[in-house]
Amino acid sequence: MVQSRTHTCNELRMSDVGKKITIVGWYENMRKLSKNLGFLILRDFYGITQVVIDNEEMMEKLAGINNESTLSITGLVRERSSKTDKITTGEIEVLPEDITVLGKCMYNELPFEINRSREADDNTRLKYRYLDLRNPAVKEKIVLRCKIVADLRQSMMEHDFLEITTPILTCSSPEGARDYLVPSRNHPGKFYALPQAPQQFKQLLMTSGFDRYFQIAPCFRDEDARADRSPGEFYQLDMEMAFASQDDVFGILEEVLPPIFAKYGKYTTASQAPFKRISYNDSMEIYGSDKPDLRIDLVVQDATACMSDCGFQPFEGQTVKAVVVSGYNGTRKEIDALCADVEVQSGQKAYWFKLDESGSIIGGIAKFLQERKEQVIDALSLKVGDFVGVVAGNKLTAQKTAGVFRRFIGNVAPGHMKKECYEFCWIVDFPMYEMGEESGKLEFCHNPFSMPQGGMDALLNQNPLDINAYQYDLVCNGIELSSGAVRNHDPESMVKAFELVGLGEEDVKAKFPAMYNAFCYGAPPHAGIAPGVDRMVMLIAGEESIREIIPFPMNKTAQDVMMGAPSEVDAKQLSDVHIKLDVKSI
């Protein structure tokens, strides 16, 4: 062992009684009973050990030493008179012969109590993350992450994938998010970009003759934080396979992921291969989301025919969607709060009614439905006691709002969510194109490098909005773990796919020169995917926030409050990279 310790603070047992040992660690606390009797707890990475201070000499050595100082303690192991099974070293204690301070904590008061650091506010935890990580409950999540990554790496290699690292400094590429730019010193006025993903590089590896590639890849995107997305940077299990189809990719992940979730997951049950496959259109229609939480047994129903002309103004001329919930008896206050939460999340109002014990429609928008009661009951297959949430808007808006309502009420209505499990599914057959909400023009819906279903014939002869792509998402418990696709490896159909969004061959060559040229030298069909490591660990650990499983996370505004990043730099550093600042207040 290092630091001349003979044992860790989680190692000593009854078999060590009578041995002279040395342990090192952090001075967690001491319960002092008198001037010459106290019980000191020493904590290291592995666990804790009780040290009995039973004389004034040893007590004096600790005088003025603050909690969280690091100590080296040499002494005899003896049997503990009052044993405890709350800690693994609960049968023994150490009687010290010598105590040495290795690193003194200079502060009498800590920003928070170490073992209760998770109760502190987020900014304090992030600023003093090195103290937060001393909390065993926090530390164990990082240890879990390390083990999961190691097992993912091992499993990928067992499936004959090669781990190949790709560049961090590259060119700016339209991946869909904002780039982090790095100015070039040797090439004035030009910039590198940090990769949003190794997308082009892994495809180039396929054209280079590598058959199976993976890496635990760092990715950089200048986007806002969410509970399941860290701002700035994240890691993904990036993979690509040559001469592969969508089914080949599915087969690999369905073999790699379930054992990881079974081994480390907070929940004991998980979907087994093959995972359920749901088309994008069906997912939006049935669940109101392209990342459905299949633990919830509720579905979205179409109520347009029986409600759009019921006289309720918000429904007139709109698509109307309903979620029928049995066994929900929320109070009026709870229902109003639920509808308010849906509106905050979706930006759209939610409405409701009930079918009471007498078979009457009551509450909410009931007065608009009385004349067509039987039609509504038949259309939605209502039973006595059913609660119905209703939303309206254009088709996509109504679908999405209903999906939010389904998710919210599924969490509160008894018996409708199977919480302690992992439910995986594949969302497939994504549209290749969509009309941009802001531009009003045709845009790629997902990855522009995806193979259209039907190939060149579809691009030439179908309405672009009717073309599906070989794109797929892996979803677990309502969280998108990854997106992937069969790639468009044919230069001619790639150019045609971009022409439909207003970009010609010269634009493709200019934006993706290496990949376009490489494909012109004979590229294999290839497909890949990239599950998010951070999201995966968050799910396995059963955490609500992704920051809990990242060693040094940023805050919601992409600031590292511990290191002080982003920070100003001096004039010489700016001059070296040929930059002058013209910063306007935001």
Q: Taking the C-alpha atoms of 164, 168, 170 and 174 in order, what is their torsion angle to the nearest 10 degrees? A: 90
Other C-beta atoms within 10 Å of 268: how many? 10
Spatial neighbors of 405 by CB under 8 A, at least 6 apart, are: 288, 323, 338, 342, 350, 389, 391
CA-to-CA distance for 288 and 323, rounded, in angstroms?
A: 10
- What are the backbone angles phi and psi of residue 274, rounded to the nearest 5°? -80, 145
Q: For Cα atoms 35, 39, 45, give the angle at the middle one, nearest 5 degrees.
A: 140
Q: What is the pLDDT of residue 411?
A: 94
CA-to-CA distance for 397 and 391, rounded, in angstroms?
A: 9
Q: What is the pLDDT of residue 419?
A: 86
Element (H, E) at 576: helix 571-576
CA-to-CA distance for 457 and 244, rounded, in angstroms?
A: 21
Rg of the chain, C-alpha, whole Å: 30
CA-to-CA distance for 510 and 492, rounded, in angstroms?
A: 15
Residue 334 to residues 215, 329, 338, 347, Cα–Cα distance (Å): 47, 9, 6, 19
- What are the backbone angles phi and psi of residue 296, rounded to the nearest 5°? -90, 130
User: Do 431 and 465 form a contact (C-beta atoms < 8 A)?
Assistant: yes
Q: Which token pair is 318?
A: 């709109």
SS3 256: helix
Q: Among the residues of 428-557, which ranges form H helices?
A: 455-461, 491-499, 505-511, 513-519, 533-541
What pairs with residue 533 in β-bridges?
none
Q: Which strands form 300-302's sheet, in the order they lie side by side?
A: 300-302, 319-325, 387-393, 351-355, 361-362
CA-to-CA distance for 226 and 538, rounded, in angstroms?
A: 13
CA-to-CA distance for 507 and 510, rounded, in angstroms?
A: 5
Other C-beta atoms within 10 Å of 274: how many? 12
Chain centroid to Cα 147, Å, comes to 17
CA-to-CA distance for 460 and 372, rounded, in angstroms?
A: 47
SS3 247: helix
Q: Taking the C-alpha atoms of 35, 36, 37 and 40 in order, what is their torsion angle to the nearest 10 degrees? A: 90
Q: What is the pLDDT of residue 437?
A: 80
CA-to-CA distance for 82 and 90, rounded, in angstroms?
A: 9
Q: What is the pLDDT of residue 117?
A: 97
User: Do 52 and 62 form a contact (C-beta atoms < 8 A)?
Assistant: no
Q: For Cα atoms 67, 71, 72, give the angle at the middle one, nearest 5 degrees.
A: 160
From first to last of the 586 residues of the chain, give the pLDDT tens digit.
Answer: 456 899 999 999 999 999 999 999 999 999 999 888 999 999 999 999 999 999 988 999 999 999 999 999 999 999 998 899 999 999 999 999 999 999 999 999 999 999 999 999 999 999 999 999 999 999 999 999 999 999 999 999 999 999 999 999 999 876 567 899 999 999 999 999 999 999 999 999 999 999 999 999 999 999 887 767 788 899 999 999 999 999 999 999 999 999 999 999 999 888 989 999 999 999 999 999 999 999 999 999 999 999 999 999 999 999 999 999 999 999 999 999 999 999 999 999 999 999 999 999 999 999 999 999 999 999 999 999 999 999 999 999 999 999 999 999 999 999 999 988 999 999 999 999 999 888 889 999 888 889 999 999 999 999 999 999 999 999 999 999 999 999 999 999 999 999 999 999 998 998 889 999 999 999 999 999 999 999 999 999 999 899 999 999 999 889 999 999 999 999 999 999 999 998 876 5
Q: What is the pLDDT of residue 227?
A: 67
Spatial neighbors of 220 by CB under 8 A, at least 6 apart, are: 179, 180, 194, 195, 196, 232, 233
- What are the backbone angles phi and psi of residue 161, rounded to the nearest 5°? -90, 145
Q: What is the pLDDT of residue 245?
A: 96
User: Do 552 and 145 form a contact (C-beta atoms < 8 A)?
Assistant: no
SS3 172: coil
Q: Which token pair is 315?
A: 């429904």
Question: What domains can be seen in the chain, in order of their start residue?
Answer: 2-103 (2.40.50.140), 138-271+424-553 (3.30.930.10), 296-412 (3.30.1360.30)
b (16+ CB within 10 A) / e for 525-537: bbbbbbbbbbbbb
b (16+ CB within 10 A) / e for 217-233: bbbbbeeebeebbbbbb
